[in-house]
Structure 1
């Protein structure tokens, strides 16, 4: 993986490749499959921001941000809705790249805070998000911890 990662929108040409991104088996209970996320993105078209992370010609991760400054629930106004890094490409900085891309988009949109939700568990994403700077807010939603980060 000598090529630098890059972000690309989901298109008819790459949607099938996006749906083939699979996390490690022990992580499957913590994140929806990409196909489900894309269906949610379609249903939330005005606010969802789905993207693929490529290395060279290969899509290696999927990330979806959500941007709805008018959302009734504060933690749905700006944040990371999904992150799936291909099992064979984990621990290469691609998740960090994807999260930083969403946070960069949030800053460009004028957001001062971003959120993410995670389900607790030993093979879940909490440690990753905490290392990225997200801190639990003390809130929970649908059995998931709500984490937040300031966008200074």
Structure 2
């Protein structure tokens, strides 16, 4: 498996829109159409937002959306992991760690911005996501945002 991130473009956005999660996860992850609409609005607002397709070699397997918080206000001066989803046909196949590695590599390659943390939030009921993030090295802060658990991953030593 060779996981890499690519921009969402005219060539792949319909494929990104067709990605779906399992029924059990629909309450936890916004549809990609909503995420791309949010990315458009954030970008028009002047925010640094990055919708990215997740590929295993040349096979589209998921979608992620990152932001750098210049003025969003949630985690000033840090990155936010707004979305991370894998199509239901690729869940449970070991892609989470590989995708997170690719996300961290992408952040490290961004020479325009510096940050100490990657910030996420997830719903308390989303125990699978919680286990994935905590196992990867995120630490819960004890804070909540819109009734979601806040967790941080340290980007710098």
- Equivalent residue number for residue 30 of structure 2: 32
Unaligned runs of 5+ in 1: none
Q: Normalising by the residue count of structure 2, what TM-score does the alignment of the two structures yield?
A: 0.85
Q: Which residue of 2 aligns with 1:80?
A: 81
| 1:128 counterpart (132, 144, 148) | 132
In the alignment, structure 2 segments of 5+ residues that lack a partner are none
RMSD of equivalent CA atoms: 2.0
Deviation sequence 1:102-147 (CA, Å, 0-9, x none): 3233334321111111011155411111111111111111111110
Alignment of 1:117 onto 2:142: no
Q: TM-score, normalised by structure 1?
A: 0.87
Within a 5 Å distance, the mapping from 1:42-121 to structure 2 comes to 42-45=40-43, 46-74=47-75, 77-108=78-109, 109-121=113-125
Alignment CA distance shift 1:72-1:123 (3 Å): closer
Task: Give the direction of change, closer, same or farther, for the CA distance of 1:122–1:68 in structure 2 (3 Å limit).
Answer: closer
Q: Number of aligned pairs?
A: 150
Aligned residues of 1:66 and 1:81 also touching (Cα < 8 A): yes
